[in-house]
Structure formats: structure tokens, C-alpha cells
Amino acid sequence: MSEEYKRSHVFAIDYGTSDFKYGPITIGEVPEVVENRGYFIDKSSIMSRIMGVNKDIVVGRELPAFFESREDLSERLVYPVKHGIVEKNDVRAWQVIKELTNFAVESFTLNDPDFRGFYIVASLAVTAPRYMYERLFEIFGELNSDKMLVRAATIISQPLAVAISQKIPTCVVVESGHGNTQVCPISMYPIRNAVVALNRGGAAANILTSEILKDSGYGDLAKEEGLVRKVKEQIGLLPKRLEEAIDFAKKNPDKVRAELRIEGTRIKIDLGEQSWTRFLIGEYVFNPGHEIFQSYFKRGMPKPSDVKIGDTYFYGMTDIAESIIEAVEKCSVELQPHLFSKIILSGGNFNWRSPKTLEGVAVTSDEKVKLMMKEKGIENIQVVVTKDPTFSVWRGCIVYGYAVPHDFKWRWEKMEGWMNYA
């Protein structure tokens, strides 16, 4: 295969905890996105036979149409990636990963007679163990059982993909998605022994949002995961300083009040006098240790816990600024100033907006991190949020696949290059 063929057939896949992002280089700036989950059909059901359902697993946008009772969901609905890791012996999780991968690649398989397979660039959490790389390479090869879908494949870490998308070789990448947050110093390659992992992401903010909805009289809606996420994303705010923001909100209730209507339904959410709690949602992502959250923990809301998964220790309550400082200070003293000078925030969990009407009260993620770092004695830093942070990993994969020569073979000692299947 020529270099020209490779460059026009790069295909990127980002295996996120919540969202599965995929698509070829020809798709443009925004990939396709489906939830990273699969639903196991009850093949013994008479209705499955009558309806002609011949699948074992359903993935993609059609998945909700196959849901049965709420009790069945807990047993049959599988989210394979937890904390960025798929357990080695979790058979059903790997079945979902394979089905999603096949679904993604098949979605863009070309009818062109000259098509000879994609060059896939997959991205995993920096904490992913080697066995995940090995199993993914096996899956890519298995997709070729009927026809050539995968010409070659490579795998890179999500923080490295972000650094590549920004074209910054020395930096700290903070990649925060649905299930976890990775703080990764990079100097050409990820400095793996300096990585700090947090056991929280967008899902933690969802839990707090659910509690806020309950307190505001929407207890029935607080059970709907998709709706709670929509409320978080459209109503949640990130405060510059929480105490000042709450004080402003209580003195100016009309300026912070927000209504959310759910399209296609009669549902309208209005927090009313509880609108000051909008600021708690963003604060919780950055600093769950603030004393205001103690009342929620005392009432039974689960606190982000410290957990060890494989060889990686995930912190629950460490704030974002402290995690960045800890990661950088694990690196050489000479390198530290260069790392502090370039901090890149990526992932949907950093996609906070600052309305003009709340200027100086609500801030964006980069402004929040700068302030938190300054309060801890770290100044003269540059913090940037990637453009469309939800998709920066996927874009970095596309850039990487375009740049790596087609004849550069995979090397396990460096964890780079193409694993060839042709």
C-alpha cells in the first residue's frame, strides 16, 4: 500500500468511558458519536423471535429501541469501559468493544473496488494496561474474517493524542471525560510514572445534579440519566469563587434563574429559588472537597472514593490544581517550568460556558484552573482549553495516523507504529 492510500484512509476511534467517537479522515472536523455501551438481547424471548431480532448485542443509536423493563437494563446493558479500563476477563465487556468497533468501521466501509482497509488509530486512557492493547489488536484482526476492513492499526494514549492535536510536544494534558480524569505530563512521550488519575469526571457532576433536582422538586426526573446530563450541561455553571457566586445569586435571583424545556415533551425545569445551586455543579468537578458538599455526603450522596485498579491508584477528592502540581512535581526540576507553562484541558468535562450576563462570577475552565493554581503559589502559567474539547482526542488520532509512515511497524518497547494485517 502506498503512503497516499494510507493518508486518505486513516480512521480514528476514541474509546471513552461514556462516549465512543469514530470516523475516517474524510468526515471533517467532527466525528460520529454513540454511547460506549451495548445491550444484550434476550434471545429466548418469544417476542425476539416474532420480531425477527437475530442479534446478540445491539449498539449505536438504535439501542434504546430494544430496551425492555427497567429491571432488565441493569442485567443486560453493559458499559465496558470503567475508569478508562476494560477488565481483562470481562467477557461481555470485550464483546461490546468488538461489536462497537465493527459497527464503527462497517459504517464507513467503502464500496470503492480499490478499498483495501482502513488504517485505524485507536485511543485509550494513559492508565490502560498492556493486555488492553493486545486484545484490541486481536479484535482489529478478527474484523477481517469476511473482508479486509482493517489494513493496519495503532494505539496511542488519550493525553498524547490531545498534545498531538495541539502540536505541543512539552506540556501537561488534563483529559477529563465521563468516568475519570487523567493528568499526564508529556515531553515528546507521556511521562507515565508522573501520571495522576482521578476517580471522577462528568458522572460525578451528574450525581450532584441529580441531588439538586431532587431538592428542587424534580425527584421523578432525577432518575433519568440522560435528562440529568442535559440539565448539567445546559444549566450548570463554573464559579470563579464559589462563596462570592452564591452570594451574588441569592442577591440577584433573576440574573441566575434558568429554565430548561425538554424538546418533544411537556417537561420544564425551573430551579427557582434554588438557582444558586447551578454554581455547585461546576465547582464539584474542580474541587469536591469544598465544605459545602459535606451536607450532600451526609445525606447519602456517594463521595468520590480512592480506588486502585490494576497498578493505578485513582484519587477521589484531590482537586484539579493539586493533581496538576503533584503530577508536575514527579518530574525533573529542570522540566517542571516547561510543564507548568503549558497546561492543556481536554474532554467534555471542561466544556463550561461563561455567560456575558455573569461575567466575573462564572468562568471558563482555563480561568478556573489559573485561579486555583495561583492560590497554591503557581503563577505565570498558560492554561488553554482545546477547541471542541469533547473531540480533541479523536482529532489528535487523525493527525497521528496521517503523519506516521505506512511502513513504520509496531514496536512493543516503544508502543508505537502500525500493526499490519495484510
Tell me the mean pLDDT in the region 136-145.
Answer: 94
| CA quadruple 54, 59, 61, 63: dihedral, nearest 10 | 60
Same domain? 109 vs 220: no
Answer yes or no: is pLDDT of 237 > 50: yes
Question: 251-310, pLDDT tens digit by residue?
Answer: 998 899 888 887 778 888 888 888 999 999 999 999 999 999 999 999 999 998 888 877
Q: Domain for residue 185, yes or no?
A: no
DSSP string, 72-98: HHHHHEE---BTTB--TT-HHHHHHHH
Question: 324-337, pLDDT tens digit by residue?
Answer: 999 999 999 999 99
Same domain? 33 vs 145: yes
Last residue of a domain, one of 303, 333, 355: 303
Q: CA-CA distances (angstroms) from residue 141 to 3, 134, 160, 290, 372?
A: 21, 11, 24, 48, 46
Residues listed for the chain: 422
Q: Domain for residue 377, yes or no?
A: no
Q: Domain for residue 333, yes or no?
A: no
Which of 67, 345, 40, 96 lies closest to 225, judged by CA? 67
* Phi/psi at 6 (5° precision): -55, -45
Q: Domain for residue 214, yes or no?
A: yes
Give how many domains the chain has, as a whole number.
2
Q: Domain for residue 183, yes or no?
A: no
DSSP string, 306-341: PEEETTEEEESS--HHHHHHHHHTTS-TTTHHHHHT
* Contact present, 228 and 209 (Cβ < 8 Å): yes
Same domain? 12 vs 161: yes
Same domain? 68 vs 143: yes
Last residue of a domain, one of 277, 303, 329: 303
Report how far residue 311's alpha carbon sits from residue 37's, in angstroms, rounded to the nearest whole number.
25
Averaged confidence pLDDT in the chain: 88
- Placement of cell 492560590 in the chain: 375
Same domain? 137 vs 238: no
Q: Which of 32-46, 101-115, 137-151, 295-309 shows the lowest mean pLDDT across its residues?
A: 32-46
Same domain? 206 vs 161: no
Same domain? 227 vs 84: no
Q: How far is Cα of residue 305 from the mean position of the Cα atoms in its chain?
A: 19
- Placement of cell 425538554 in the chain: 262
Query: Which grid coordinates are listed for 407?
Result: 511502513
* Phi/psi at 342 (5° precision): -135, 95
Report how far residue 290's alpha carbon sits from residue 300's, in angstroms, rounded to the nearest whole number.
17
pLDDT reported for residue 95: 94
The CATH number that applies at residue 86 is 3.30.420.40
Same domain? 108 vs 232: no
Same domain? 38 vs 104: yes
Same domain? 151 vs 276: no
Q: Domain for residue 191, yes or no?
A: no
Q: How many CA atoms lie within 13 A of 189 on its CB side?
A: 7
The CATH number that applies at residue 240 is 3.30.420.570
Same domain? 140 vs 222: no
- Placement of cell 514496536 in the chain: 411
- For residue 242, give its domain range: 202-303
What is the pLDDT confidence band of residue 72, given thresholds at 50, 70 and 90? low
Last residue of a domain, one of 249, 269, 303: 303
Q: Domain for residue 341, yes or no?
A: no
pLDDT reported for residue 307: 86
Report how far residue 314's alpha carbon sits from residue 305's, in angstroms, rounded to the nearest whole number.
8
Q: Domain for residue 411, yes or no?
A: yes
Strand partners, 184: 173
Same domain? 102 vs 249: no
Query: Which grid coordinates are listed for 73?
Result: 437494563
